[in-house]
Amino acid sequence: MEYQLCPSILSADFNRLGEQIQTLEKQGVKWLHIDVMDGDFVPSISFGMPVIRSIRKESKMFFDVHLMVSAPERYIQDFVDCGADSITIHAEACEDLERAIELIRDAGVKVGISIKPATPINDISHLLEDVDMVLVMTVQPGFGGQKYIPECTEKVQELKEIIDREELNVDIQVDGGINDSTMETAMRAGANFLVAGSYVFNGDLESNVQRIQQKMQDISEKLN
């Protein structure tokens, strides 16, 4: 199984964003998690296409764009055009989730769907054959720095059981409250892509990434 650390630039120092992205790349980080928030689906507002287009010019990382926006199907092509390699949309934000998934697929990038902590796996289980990744939010979407919600571990386990039973090629990503202890909890439950913000960016970025990647490798070796 492939494991990836997905640093969320929501916690980056935007005065040094380009420099910090270069540091991530030098440390072998392949995925960059980009949270787009509209102030409607979630209370906060983050950033959008101009930021992604700007950093795309200087980075070869995989841009994992997480749309925490209402009616995301309106913007799929725009985000692809400015550099997204995958687009994750919220099941709760779409009137026609199947159509939105189809639009992402037609745009030629990887497809992700996300669910809030209160949304049951059963709401999306019929769509797993159509996506590349499921993002299980382990905090309430919209704010950084929250604590991991323990009940979400069972959701990851349930999702992993379905994926294995149906022999699907679907990655499980978790986002929220990831730290030294919750990382192992999430990975043991079945998550292989870990989004982390303050855990990565607070303090010395280079040493943080080295330590986190080593810990992920140690855990993955135990699991395999």
The Cα 45–Cα 62 span in angstroms is 23
Sheet holding 133-137, edge to edge: 4-7, 193-196, 171-175, 133-137, 110-115, 86-90, 62-68, 31-37
- Out of 35, 38, 64, 171, the active site residue is 35
Look at residue 95 and give its three-state secondary structure.
coil
Q: What percentage of the chain exceeds 90 in pLDDT?
A: 96
pLDDT-based confidence at residue 198 (cuts at 50, 70, 90): very high
Structure tokens at 26: 């030098």
The answer to whether 176 is a known ligand-binding residue is yes
User: Given 38, 64, 171, 175, which residue is catalytic?
Assistant: 175
The answer to whether 130 is a known catalytic residue is: no
Task: Tell me whether residue 198 is annotated as binding.
Answer: yes
Residue 147 has pLDDT above 70, yes or no: yes
Is 145 marked as a binding-site residue? yes
Tell me which of 128 and 142 has the higher pLDDT: 128
- Asked whether the predicted pLDDT for residue 145 surpasses 80, the reply is no
Give the Cα separation of 95 and 161 in Å (integer).
27
pLDDT the model gives residue 15: 96
The question of whether 40 is a catalytic residue gets the answer no
**pLDDT category of residue 144 using cuts at 50, 70 and 90:** low
Coil vs helix vs strand at 66: strand
Considering the four listed CATH numbers 3.40.225.10, 3.20.20.70, 3.40.50.720, 3.30.70.20, the one that applies to the domain covering 4-223 is: 3.20.20.70
What is the pLDDT at residue 211?
97
Q: Is the pLDDT of residue 208 over 70?
A: yes
86-90 vs 62-68, strand pairing mode:
parallel
| Residue 190 marked in a binding site | no
146 vs 114, residue with greater confidence = 114
